[in-house]
């Protein structure tokens, strides 16, 4: 089973919480499982968009469309801003680092 590393989930969670906040072990597990389910759900929707466009590679626009289709529009502007800040780095990555659809 694919699960996000607990250390990364903990670091992300602590990054948005007040400094002296502790996270119980079971809460980290719940966050990890929840994030994994969310990513799988979003990736499946993005993959469907790529397949509909006769593409084998999920692109950022597929993810943004999936965000909207899943009625998660409140995340769209933040995701677009994050992508814009990363675009200089993404354009320098080799093509093989993109996630390829199995279909």
Residue 45: the pLDDT is: 97
| Exposed/middle/buried for residue 55 (C-beta within 10 Å: 0-12, 13-18, 19+) | middle
Rg (CA), the chain: 16
Residue 88: the pLDDT is: 75
Domains of the chain: 6-92 (1.10.20.10)
Cβ proximity of 80 and 103 under 8 Å: no
Residue 3: the pLDDT is: 82
Residue 55: the pLDDT is: 94
What does pLDDT average to in each consecutive run of 10 residues of the chain (103 residues)?
87 94 95 94 96 94 94 91 80 58 48
Residue 20: the pLDDT is: 92
Residue 90: the pLDDT is: 65
Token pair of 49, please?
């968009």
């Amino acid at each position: 089973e694919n699960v996000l590393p607990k250390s990364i989930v903990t670091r992300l969670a602590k990054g948005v919480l007040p400094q002296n906040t502790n996270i119980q072990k079971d809460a980290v597990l719940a966050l990890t499982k929840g994030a994994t389910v969310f990513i799988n759900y979003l990736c499946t929707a993005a993959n469907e968009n790529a397949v509909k466009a006769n593409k084998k590679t999920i692109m950022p626009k597929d993810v943004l469309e999936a965000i909207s289709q899943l009625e998660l529009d409140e995340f769209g502007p933040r995701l677009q801003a994050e992508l814009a800040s990363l675009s200089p780095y993404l354009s320098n990555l080799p093509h093989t680092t993109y996630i390829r659809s199995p279909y």
